[in-house]
A and B are shown apart, each in its own frame.
Chain A
């Protein structure tokens, strides 16, 4: 799914500026626990979360997650946006709830990370 489609589906606003709207995002994940994202997040994914601190961006960075979408209308601080820009993480915000955001993306065909396991 193209990043611009995701933006439209989530009625999202972009906070990080420049991005390629044609970038393909194939997989989505969502949690407010960053260790969970570190365990099952996939490279190139979009992460939906209602947690807003710089560790969300660090988590995206080390996991090669391309887009972070802060849900429920939460607006991250400027230092979070700056860190995201520095590390080429795209930041979206949406007023939708976590469930609504994930539901809409899933319905439109975005794949999920499916199972959680700690095996290699």
Chain B
């Protein structure tokens, strides 16, 4: 049902990769004035299934192993290559996306296509189905390694930086009333902490509580900022805004209490559970507010797995 919309990673790669990135560049070629017998050693020793015929780097034809066997059958080993080769050779340009090669293999059923340069039409390589598979697999592997490496390198900052204690500070600015951008700070912080090698459970608790606080800035205030400090034993997230402040903090902390307007509720928030949620996921939470001035919320998440210790 969803085939049309589903492009798999591999399909995506066949659009991204160029033919020149996966083709074989060391091509065995033979001149057109050679006898067919000359091909035997090449076909046999190199275990290849077809040889481009080239004069001065210009592709003039192709002899496949099938063509060669036919000559053997008919005792034509002394014939000239140019009389036995396929002359109207289907080729590909080096700068075409790999998917064009995939389509040509499907269309013609050949085992290989010579690759020529678009500029001067000279032979630059040859491509087989196994080149395509190898190329795609290699690309998949490097994509995977890149992500792993990024994570690895980031977590090594702690070993590479020399100091008695290391602190990181990440600053995010949050616009009031702009729901399209709400969540960018929390999701940005989440990715950052994850790349620094923190455990998924810690990262998740920091992300959820920051997200609820960010939603509150957007829903209730003129704007504010979120500063996360990664300290040796904890993550400290300080969320401040420019008002209007909370008149009754005790009430605001009660599950279900909300002054959220309709537009906030329509977006899936405003059930009076933000602050209780933050309390649930934080190891410590402090909320201070001055009416008209603004609100300051501090969330602490301990890095050691304190819950198993006590």
Contacts and interface: CB of A to CB of B under 8 A. Distances in A.
A100 interface: no
How big is chain A's contact interface, by range? 20 to 34
A23 interface: no
Given A15-B5, A43-B200, A63-B208, A56 B187 contact: no
Nearest to A52: B268
Nearest to A57: B183
Interface string B1-40: 1100111110010000000000000000000000000000
A13 B2 contact: yes
A14 B2 contact: yes
Interface SS, A side: mixed
B273 A14 contact: no
B242 interface: no
Contacts of A108: none
A120 B204 CA distance: 14
Interface in B155-192: 179-180, 182-183, 186-187, 190
Contacts of B307: 120
A118 to B, nearest CB: 5
Contact of B211 (A17, A38, A87): A38
Contacts of A35: 212, 268-269, 271, 273-274, 277
19 contacts: A14-B6, A17-B8, A33-B271, A35-B212, A38-B273, A39-B280, A43-B200, A43-B204, A51-B267, A51-B268, A53-B267, A55-B179, A55-B215, A56-B268, A58-B187, A62-B183, A62-B204, A62-B207, A118-B273
Interface of B: 1-2, 5-9, 12, 179-180, 182-183, 186-187, 190, 200-201, 204, 207-208, 210-212, 215, 255, 267-269, 271, 273-274, 276-277, 279-280, 307
Interface of A: 13-15, 17-18, 32-36, 38-39, 43, 49, 51, 53-56, 58-59, 61-64, 87, 118-120
User: Lowest 5 A-B CB distances belong to which pairs?
Assistant: A58-B183, A35-B273, A62-B207, A34-B268, A13-B2
